[in-house]
Amino acid sequence: MQIDLSGRTALVTGSTQGIGYAIAVGLARAGATVLINGRSDTSVGAALDRLTAEVPDATVVAAPADVSTEDGTHALVQAHPDVDVLVNNLGIFGATPALEIDDDEWRRYFEVNVLAAVRLIRAYLPGMKDRGWGRILSIASDSAVVIPAEMIHYGMSKTALLAVSRGFAKEAAGSGVTVNSVIAGPTHTGGVETFVRDLVGDELPWDEAQHEFMVKYRPQSLIQRLIEPEEIANMVVYLSSSFASATTGGALRVDGGYVDSILP
């Protein structure tokens, strides 16, 4: 399957590292012009340099903005008013005992993980509908379906993101625009490495620490390892292409078999 996104412009939020960066690389390899987003000029510039070194013929554009805020989103949309592919990847996570999550923390998770995506969909969906083509993807998590006891505020926000995607898919019905979410399983990123260390300690070598984490905290995984970011990116690139034109309103799983159900 040869995926060609030449002539398409893609915005990937939170794409200076981790899953977002891997998605940006995948889209650039497929020929899309990719807007790299992060909160600072420094982080975005470093990601651009790294990506162009990996993909020398890539077309990448700096799009620094804090899209977790209304002002940041407005500035980004003003600078880049039209995109063909929107990937809502920005998200925060962390372990906190359920009874210690205060109101401000509940609001912060909803603001960053849900409202940031909603604002960008509201901004870009009308133009996509007018042009008769577009792809909107939101990176959700297995935690949306299997709520982790150690971070139920994160799980709540990802469950909401599934509903947001399904609802906006109905808004885009019949327009040529598809809206989907991707349920990512436990993924090997720098942030997850820190998270794993917080839970299992610093004494074990990484391979052993990862194994203990999966056995103790994510025993449902059928691949019994962390997923690599490129594996998430592969799904996103496919869903961004013309090959996925009949897939919309869905929650597509790249979870290593973690969610123990036939449907999400």
Give the predicted TM-score (pTM) of the model. 0.94
* pLDDT tens digit sequence for 59-90: 999 999 999 999 999 999 999 999 999 999 99
CATH superfamily assigned to domain 9-187+227-254? NAD(P)-binding Rossmann-like Domain (3.40.50.720)
The single residue of 21, 154, 217, 258 carrying the catalytic annotation is 154
Active site residue 154: yes
Q: Is the pLDDT of residue 166 over 80?
A: yes
- Taking the C-alpha atoms of residue 108 and residue 120, their distance in angstroms, rounded to an integer, is 17
Output the six-digit token pair for 86.
């929107």
* pLDDT tens digit sequence for 227-252: 999 999 999 999 999 999 999 999 99
- Taking the C-alpha atoms of residue 32 and residue 65, their distance in angstroms, rounded to an integer, is 20
Nearest to 93 by CA among 178, 161, 43: 161
Output the six-digit token pair for 62.
């700096």
- Taking the C-alpha atoms of residue 123 and residue 115, their distance in angstroms, rounded to an integer, is 12
- Residues 11 and 35: beta-carbon distance below 8 Å: yes
- Taking the C-alpha atoms of residue 230 and residue 209, their distance in angstroms, rounded to an integer, is 22
